[in-house]
Chain A
Amino acid sequence: MDDALNSYMTGPDEAGRFGIFGGRFVSETLMPLILELEAQYEHAKTDPTFWAEMNDLWTHYVGRPSPLYFAERLTDHLGGAKVYMKRDELNHTGAHKINNVLGQIILARRMGKTRIIAETGAGQHGVATATVCAKFGLKCVVYMGAHDVERQAPNVFRMKLLGAEVIPVTSGRGTLKDAMNDALRDWVTNVRDTFYCIGTVAGPHPYPAMVRDFQSIIGKETKQQMMEREGRLPDTIIAAIGGGSNAMGLFHPFLDDKTVRIIGVEAGGKGVDDRMEHCASLTGGRPGVLHGNRTYLLQDADGQILEGYSISAGLDYPGIGPEHAWLHDVGRAEYVAITDAEALEAFQLCCRLEGIIPALEPSHALAHVMKIAPTLPRDHLIVMNLCGRGDKDIFTVARHLGVTMSV
């Protein structure tokens, strides 16, 4: 009993709430579907054959476990804490997204669904979904904001090569939020045969918990690998947050390890101030209801949702997963913001010092590592989640650095 009360790992409750956050704010048409999904997931969760299939695919298709890498030159350069990188960018498809997609697609197959829809921002979740659908011969439709289709062209082509249909979304500003609206509209229309594969720890219950559970493989491996390497837990763990799935995956297994400092890094865009040219929902937003859950949102005084801005398409979302909102309010995790400029600097440093081209999303996490590592003692262990590789971002980075590339 005391253990349950003292644990940060027992949520959500039966109503899908983490404190006041989460819930099931969807239209009646979708309600029976998410209840069915919840029942199926609850069953799968304790079914050894489900996890056997997951583990087999994680090992032989994704390439897990991903390495825990000691970034020696970066550590020397920063001159403080010892920096480790959890190399989820080495996964098949180049990011952590596939960890979750595999789980949801196996579930969809068990539920007899034949058509998979997904929303995508940077395109990483779209690529992962298209990939797994190709592997299992499922029809795949990906909604992507028209603005993101433009800035993530390589991933759009990848999805098409993998047989997916990519639908550019022109409503709103044409980013992840708008893609999610249209995916929900598709789902409400095609309820019988369609499974909505959400890419982050947001949306109506059970998605935030389910996606977290699938991504928790990141934190579980990290814990074991750190014990093997250093014989103890890390002191600080850090991850970037858009919706927050890679961060939740790293954080969750450590929530009850009170000595571990947990830091989430939001996209500060051009700076977190009242111009609202950022995507830092926790730092610059307040609680509201969108896309099926209550969480911190960027919104105006009248409860209308603001667009947000970030150099990184994967972080360009005005909300955040409800469990992060709760961890923020109860103070178990800290949340900070990193600007576009700081992320770009970290991106380049990682390329030069470690021979790793990181995605712009984890470059935000790395930028915060660069801020705090020099202030910490040499025996302080930091793990940052290098959740995606940067091949998709080189055009964006080139543009920001004033380099013209011709292909």
Chain B
Amino acid sequence: MELQTNLRRIILAELLVPLALFIFGAYHGVLQTMYLSGVIRATSVAGIDYYQGLTAHGVINAIVLTTFFAVALGYTVVSQELKSRVSIAGAALSLALMLLGAVMAAAMIFLGKASVLYTFYPPLMAHPLFYVGLVLFIVGSWVPLWTWIPVYLRWRKENRGWKTPMGVVGILATFTVWQMATLPVAVEVLVQLLPWSLGWTHGINVMLSRTLFWFFGHPLVYFWLLPTYVMYYTMLPKLAGGKLFSDFAGRFTFMALILLSCPLGLHHQFADPGISTTSKGIQGVLTLLVAIPSLLTAFTLAASLEYAARQRGGKGLFGWWSKLPYFNPENWLFPYLFCGLLIFLFGGITGIVNASYSMNNVVHNTAWIPAHFHLTVGGPIFLGILGGSLFIVTGLLKKPVVSGTMAMIVPYLWMGGTFIFSSGLFMGGLRGEPRRTNLGLTYMNPASPSYRSDWWVPAHMGLVGGCIMGFAVLLYFIVLIRSLAAASDAAASKAPFSLPTSEPYHDEDVPAVRNFTPWVVAAVLLCAAAYYVPIRDIAKNGITTAPGFRPDSPAAVNTTH
């Protein structure tokens, strides 16, 4: 079945608009590696301040690009797999709110009114419209789930006894996590930040706002990851020429992530005052439990790839590795997912380091952290978005990919770049190099008393890696633009577009992973249990409220009128 015409248009906008914004995100990413290594020793380049550009890099790449892609993939999967029409009004409303919000936030950033980074930690204070933009964007991203639920329930009624398609389970899990995770940050923005930035309130409880932010901030990473998991479980085995090794593993993973995504944000606050070690420890344990579905995913995907390789004639204990379609321009999407998976091995392992409680003392807020997340959100997730967007955009427009070879090279280049970039930042982080700091002016400036010669090698590895990553993005945009400019493919125009869908190899029926309700209820209860004590402690300790500060002055903002 072909997707509804208007839905196709909406999906195209959801994919192409953020990609256009991402051109700046990527440009400034490369620029940051130059600032950090001291190649650029300035506060700004071309009128954009380092911290302003860094805010844009974070907001565009980590919030706007990822969320739009999740919504676009969600509409494609739900519509295709349930063979159902979805609400166009809902989809249009969601797109409008998200676009408006993204434009407002981006405008405030580019006007220099919101250089507060994407974590917007108060008491740094941005322009109220920045916060309004974020709220509109988030509310817009809530709409799709509520329009999919009736479609899903109708499908269940009409297809009693049938398993819900894996992709739909994954997408509903993605947006369930998003709905739970974004409520606290919406409260933070609407109750704390917005009135305070408008001057209606004069102080803010900073520990409370940090805690509400990280209640959202960590599940956010699973929200990034889940659409990629959908592609891994439903598309990768098929693209490799095989089947999904374990249907149970996929369904269990999605349900487990609903349960465990939220009650563990405190592991971002291990270094914070005002929260007891007991509360931190409990969420530390919960954090490590999330590794179970991720490890299971790694094993299952490896087994699926092995199965595919053996179908292609692969032999021996390790010999089968050579039989996968690594360099096939016709199957250019495979390396996007495969390279992402390889990168994620290291992203996952270093994530376990971050989560390992007292180990956080060594790495917290150092360059180690961006090194880690460029192997997660900047690795499998980003490659999934690039590959998925190119596949869906060209598929919906019935256009050929020009050229498949060039498209195929992008993920390998990107992987090489991220490995060099992240190795440098890991090394720097262990030597105390801070993240999100314009190092070139001081720490990477031999003329400064703060100069750190031992950060030179790490920072320059970041530079080399960053430039390779930038080059990969450039190639990608050449492919995308050439493909968009190409004439429609006459042969492809006849067949309806669809995403590749893998069949299961082992297809047991485990009722426990076939019903969302108990997992959602358990998740809500677990969140309440994990957060009751720390939030009570923060309230009880009578922590004084803080006035606002602009990033360019140590004098508090006078919000009295």
> Are A and B associated in one complex?
no
Residues of chain B touching chain A, judged by Cβ–Cβ distance below 8 Å, are none
